[in-house]
Amino acid sequence: MGRLAKRIRGEARVEIFGVSPEMVVNRCAEAGVTLRLVSAADGQTIRCSADEKDLETLRALAQRCQCELRLLSLRGGSRDRQLLRRRIWLPLTALLMAALLLLSSLFVWDVEIIGAENLSRGKILRALAEAGVERGCFWPALSADLVRSRALAALPELAWLTVNVNGSRAVVLAEPRAEKPEIYRESEACSLAASHSGIVRRVSALNGRALVQPGQAVQEGEILIGSMLDSLTGPERYVRARGEIWADTWYELTAVCPPAARGKGPAAGKTRRVGLKIGDRSIFFYGKSRKTLDGYDKIVHEYSLGLKGLFALPLSLLCETCTRRAPAEPQAADTQAMRERLETQLRGQIDGEIVSLSFSELERDGTVYVTLRARCFENIAKITQAEETSP
C-alpha cells in the first residue's frame, strides 16, 4: 500500500548543489517539506527524494539559500495521470469488462450434470429447460424447490435432483431411482405359459400342476404348469406356479441390406474456418458463411472461454474443419457383420443355448437378404398375470 500511495502522489528525485546545500535541508524541515533518501554526493551536492506536490516549494527554498535544484527523475503522479489522460480508453475498457463480467455472472452459461448415468444428457437438459434451468437463464430468479419439483415430474427415473449455481455454472446432482423389487404373494394364483413354440424335453414343476409331458409339442402362450392343486382333505387350492420347462425351439431371423451405395473415398482437401459463439448465436469470420459445403465432412470444435470449475462466459471460439472426400466405388454388403448381428440378437432373446446354427444368403435386385436358422434348447416357461379365483 505504501508503494501504491507513493505512485499516486508522485515521487521526484532531485539534486541540490550550491554553496551550502545543508541549509536547504534545514529550511525544508522548518517549512514542513519531507525529504527522503537524503545523501551527500560531495561537499556541495545533496541528492534526495520528495513528493511531487512539494517540488515548487523545494525549488523556492533552494533559491533563497543560493542553491540550484535539478530534477533527476519523476515517477507516478502527474506523469501517470497524463498518460492515462492520453489513453483514457484503457481504464474505461477495464471498467467495462469488469461490469460485463459481473453482469454475466448473474446468468447461467454452463450446465454440468453429475450422476444419473442411466439417463441421456439430452433428456435431462430438456427437463431442466422446461423447469427454467438452461443456458442464458437469470439464476437469481430461479426457485430451487420449483425446479426440483418440475424436473422430477418429467424424469420419474430419478429419486432426487438438486441444482447448485456457482457463478455462471449450474451443477446438477441427480440420483437414479432404485428398481422396485417384484412383490407377490405365494398364495396368488399364477400359471406358467410357453414363451415360444417347441417340443418339450424336460419338465420340472416345483409348485403347481404340470400340464405337459416330455415329447409333447406346445404353442406359444399355452399353459405349461397350472396354478390349481388338488387336495385329498379339502377343496382345490390355488398357488403361484414355479418350475422350468426345457424344450427344443426353432428360430428364423432375416436381415436386409439395401442396394450398395457409394461410400467415402480418401481426403481430397481441407478447409478451416473460425467463428465466435455469443450465447446461442454463432458469428463466422468469413464470406458466404451461410453456404453449405456438399460432399464435405464437417467437424466443429467449440472452446468455451472462462475458468473451468470457477465460472463460464457466454463466449466460445468455434474452429470448423471441412474435409472434402473423393467419390468412392460402391461398397458391397458386409454379410459377415449381418451374420454377427443376427446371432447377437438371437442370444439376447433365448433363455438357454444354441444347439445348431446355419445361414443362407440371397441377392435380388441389388438387395442382400441374410437369413439365420437355429435350433435352441431353452427354458420356455414364463409367469402369467395373476388369475382371478372364486372364493
65 and 9 in one domain?
Answer: yes
> Would you say residue 228 lies in a domain?
no
Give me the pLDDT at residue 286, please.
63
316 and 351 in one domain?
Answer: no
15 and 75 in one domain?
Answer: yes
What is the layout of strands, in order, in the sheet containing 262-278?
Answer: 281-284, 262-278, 311-330, 296-307
> Would you say residue 76 lies in a domain?
yes
Work out the number of other CB atoms within 10 angstroms of the CB of residue 28.
21
Question: What is the tally of structural domains in the chain?
Answer: 4
CATH (domain of 66): 3.30.2130.10
Give me the pLDDT at residue 391, please.
47
> Would you say residue 189 lies in a domain?
no
308 and 320 in one domain?
Answer: yes
66 and 18 in one domain?
Answer: yes
CATH (domain of 121): 3.10.20.310
16 and 29 in one domain?
Answer: yes
Domain boundaries, position 336? 255-260+332-377
> Quick check: 345 and 364 in contact, CB under 8 A?
no
Last residue of a domain, one of 145, 176, 207: 176
17 and 72 in one domain?
Answer: yes
> Quick check: 372 and 252 in contact, CB under 8 A?
yes
73 and 18 in one domain?
Answer: yes
> Would you say residue 362 lies in a domain?
yes
> Would you say residue 97 lies in a domain?
no
> Would you say residue 226 lies in a domain?
no
Last residue of a domain, one of 154, 176, 198: 176
The predicted model scores a pTM of 0.48
Where do the DSSP E strands lie in 208-285?
209-210, 217-218, 223-226, 228-229, 237-238, 242-257, 262-278, 281-284
Give me the pLDDT at residue 343, please.
92
373 and 362 in one domain?
Answer: yes
Angle between helices 55-64 and 22-31 (to 10 degrees): 130
What burial class does residue 307 get, using C-beta atoms within 10 Å of its C-beta: 0-12 exposed, 13-18 middle, 19+ buried? exposed
Give me the pLDDT at residue 246, please.
94
Give me the pLDDT at residue 201, please.
93
> Would you say residue 238 lies in a domain?
no
Last residue of a domain, one of 176, 199, 234: 176
What is the layout of strands, in order, in the sheet containing 198-207?
Answer: 217-218, 198-207, 242-257, 367-379, 352-364
Give me the pLDDT at residue 134, please.
85
> Would you say residue 183 lies in a domain?
no
337 and 323 in one domain?
Answer: no
73 and 6 in one domain?
Answer: yes
Task: Please state the length of the chain.
Answer: 391
Give me the pLDDT at residue 294, please.
61
- pLDDT mean for each 10 residues of the chain (391 residues): 68 83 83 83 83 83 85 75 67 78 80 84 88 85 86 87 82 83 71 91 88 91 85 75 91 83 65 76 63 68 71 76 71 80 91 92 85 94 68 47
292 and 337 in one domain?
Answer: no
